[in-house]
Amino acid sequence: MTAPAAIARRSSWLSRAGLGVGLIGLVITGVSTVVASTLNEHNDHRLLEVQTRQAKELLSATIVQLQAPLTDALDVAIATSGDAADFASTLASAVGPRGLFVDASLWERRGAGYAPVAAIGTTRALGPSSLAESFVGRAARSTTFLVQPVVHGTSERIAYAVGRRTDSRFVVLAERAIPSDRRVSIESNPAFSNLDYATYLGAVTAADLATTDVAPHDLPLSGDVVTATIPFGDTSLTFAAQASAPMGGTLSEDLQWIVLVGGMLVTAVATIASEQVVRRRHAAEFDAAKISGLYAQLDELYGEQRTIAETLQRALLPAGLPTIANLEIASRYLPGARGVQVGGDWFNIIAIDDHHVGFAIGDVSGKGVSAAAVMARLRFTVRAYLLEGHAPNVVLELCSSQLDVTNDAHFSTALVAVVDLEEHSVTLASAGHLPPLVISPTEAHYVDTPIGPPLGMRCSTYLSTTLVIAPGSTLLAFTDGLVERRGESIDAGLGRLAHHALNTTGALDYLLTQLVECGSSDHVGGFDDDVAIVAMRWLDYSET
């Protein structure tokens, strides 16, 4: 074959290869363009769903923040029998121009209806009207807080009412202002970045719009919109969101045009970029799951570190008392009357198995959220060790390594006990706590229990004592707030308690009520310090 013929054939082959590459490139470019466009839309929608879920978690946490001060105020009102000063003090930081609410009021049951007895903030939109009374009445019978939009002049508000079915004496009513243009800008929060959103009270209708970050003429949101429903008292919030910017970034949005212009080379680049976009989506979903987990942890921390009454409820009080055959159990917890700081008194009662019941009572030094955190930690730690079957002195030894006054800035006294139902005995160990009182029909005496240092003092060894409880006798454990008086020795308080206990007959719950009333009779408004009491009465063994 001559050289010109070979050159001609080679040129022809190159032309066919170029045409083939061109056709393949066009096909690949077209397919890649469609795939890139579809993938971009899909990724944007997935990222929109992820960010909407993050916003939902944030709004759920915000609802908890809204409810917490109202629940705290209700608990304070119940504990203080509706004291107006304590009510105002509890909500002082939550009501006002920079607070969560523009006003709040305390309503007390009067006959068949309710009437306001205390108020803080500006004039109420509902006012002391039949509409407000009806709203408050429904809240007293509800298992959750009530929400109702109201109009006050030219402004709009959302009214909240918090009551308790188990104690319907008081209801807290508060109102939160809605901006006149309903626009709220919170783009600094990562949960709302790249989002145009609107929040509705109930269903998605123009009349139910609560807040938004877009102009009214841009509502309702259109296009790719993701909605989420959030429980909100007796109703719900509907959160609608759409992307205000490319969720996957500029590269993802322009990817289809780069693929179309670049041909074969850009197709390869598009594949790499698509993989990067997918990785970004996976990273975003991973971050969203992590953020959701953090919000879940935040909810748990709110259960331990919310304000006054909520912390007391969750960190101090057991969910309920166990029912044990031939063993009558009762308890009391009363917050101190001075101030609104969280105290450190705590107790727990645990049914360990069919033959053993454990209980613990203690007092963390200091007050405030940090004391509540230590209190909750000790309560759950003691519970765990008792359920594992450890003896009381071993429980204290294990707990002593969990608390260090140098690092935690708190220490705690504690009394831990395990009741043997078959032997009719109780084994006790004390870490600096007051001795328990045994009350029989003929005498009342304090148990001579070896007392070790309080938890947090780096003590690793504690001693225990075991005593048999006679039928009809009562074991009473308590914190120092029950017996301490200013200017009086602790021995005088202990003697007074033993005298009252011995001379009071009746059911165990009635005994605790009488001891509390006698103990607080010389205190205006209640005890100076928190009080926790745990009592157990052994019934007649012949009934077993």
Banded model confidence at residue 330, pLDDT cuts 50, 70, 90: very high
Which one is the CATH code of 308-543: 3.30.428.10, 3.60.40.10, 1.10.560.10, 3.30.450.40?
Answer: 3.60.40.10
Q: Kindly tell me if the per-residue pLDDT of 263 is higher than 80.
A: no
The whole-angstrom separation of Cα 53 and Cα 32 is: 31
Q: Kindly tell me if the per-residue pLDDT of 275 is higher than 90.
A: no
Q: Kindly tell me if the per-residue pLDDT of 484 is higher than 70.
A: yes
Mean pLDDT of 242-269: 70
Q: Kindly tell me if the per-residue pLDDT of 246 is higher than 70.
A: yes
**Residue 18: its pLDDT value, please?**
54
Q: Which amino acid is at 164?
A: R
The whole-angstrom separation of Cα 271 and Cα 194 is: 25
**Residue 499: its pLDDT value, please?**
93
The closest alpha carbon to 95, from 175, 211, 156, 182, belongs to: 175
Q: Kindly tell me if the per-residue pLDDT of 438 is higher than 90.
A: yes
Query: pLDDT, tens digit, for every residue of 495-517?
Result: 999 999 999 888 999 999 999 88
Q: Kindly tell me if the per-residue pLDDT of 308 is higher than 60.
A: no
Q: Kindly tell me if the per-residue pLDDT of 14 is higher than 60.
A: no
**Residue 502: its pLDDT value, please?**
93
**Residue 219: its pLDDT value, please?**
81
Query: pLDDT, tens digit, for every residue of 199-209?
Result: 888 776 666 77
**Residue 474: its pLDDT value, please?**
96
**Residue 303: its pLDDT value, please?**
44
Query: pLDDT, tens digit, for every residue of 206-224?
Result: 667 777 777 777 788 888 8
**Greater model confidence, 336 or 64:** 64
Banded model confidence at residue 359, pLDDT cuts 50, 70, 90: very high
- Whether the model pTM is above 0.75: no
Query: Which strands form 531-538's sheet, in the order they lie side by side?
Result: 327-334, 531-538, 474-478, 437-439, 444-446
According to CATH, where is 3.60.40.10 located in the chain? 308-543
Unique residue bearing structure tokens 């680049």: 269
Query: pLDDT, tens digit, for every residue of 115-135?
Result: 899 999 876 666 667 778 888
Q: Which amino acid is at 196?
A: D
CA 481 to chain centre: 27
The per-residue pLDDT of the chain, averaged, comes to 81
Angle at 417 between CA 412 and CA 420, to 5 degrees: 170
Banded model confidence at residue 177, pLDDT cuts 50, 70, 90: confident
Kindly write down the DSSP assignment for every residue of 4-59, as one continuous string.
HHHHHHHHHHHHHHHHHHHHHHHHHHHHHHHHHHHHHHHHHHHHHHHHHHHHHHHH
**Residue 429: its pLDDT value, please?**
96
What would the two tokens of residue 128 be? 């002391």
Query: pLDDT, tens digit, for every residue of 18-38?
Result: 566 667 877 887 877 777 777
Q: Kindly tell me if the per-residue pLDDT of 443 is higher than 90.
A: yes
**Greater model confidence, 256 or 99:** 99
**Greater model confidence, 270 or 165:** 165
Banded model confidence at residue 408, pLDDT cuts 50, 70, 90: confident
Q: In this predicted structure, which of 101-105, 144-148, 187-191, 268-272 has the lowest mean pLDDT?
A: 187-191
**Residue 469: its pLDDT value, please?**
93
Banded model confidence at residue 361, pLDDT cuts 50, 70, 90: very high
> Which span out of 215-224, 243-252, 408-417 was modeled with the highest average pLDDT?
408-417
Mean pLDDT of 177-193: 68
**Greater model confidence, 320 or 438:** 438
What would the two tokens of residue 233 be? 């008292």
The whole-angstrom separation of Cα 245 and Cα 378 is: 49
CB burial of residue 346 (10 Å; 0-12, 13-18, 19+): buried
Kindly write down the DSSP assignment for every residue of 410-459, as one continuous string.
--EEEEEEEEETTTTEEEEEEEBPPPPEEE-SS-EEE----EEPPBTS--
Banded model confidence at residue 313, pLDDT cuts 50, 70, 90: very low
**Greater model confidence, 222 or 146:** 146
The whole-angstrom separation of Cα 442 and Cα 505 is: 11
Contacts of residue 176, Cβ cutoff 8 Å, sequence gap at least 6: 66, 100, 101, 102, 157, 158, 160
Banded model confidence at residue 305, pLDDT cuts 50, 70, 90: very low
Q: In this predicted structure, which of 178-187, 478-487, 528-537 has the lowest mean pLDDT?
A: 178-187
Banded model confidence at residue 326, pLDDT cuts 50, 70, 90: confident
Which H helix or E strand runs over 226? Answer: strand 226-232
Q: How much of the chain, in percent, has pLDDT values that exceed 90?
A: 32
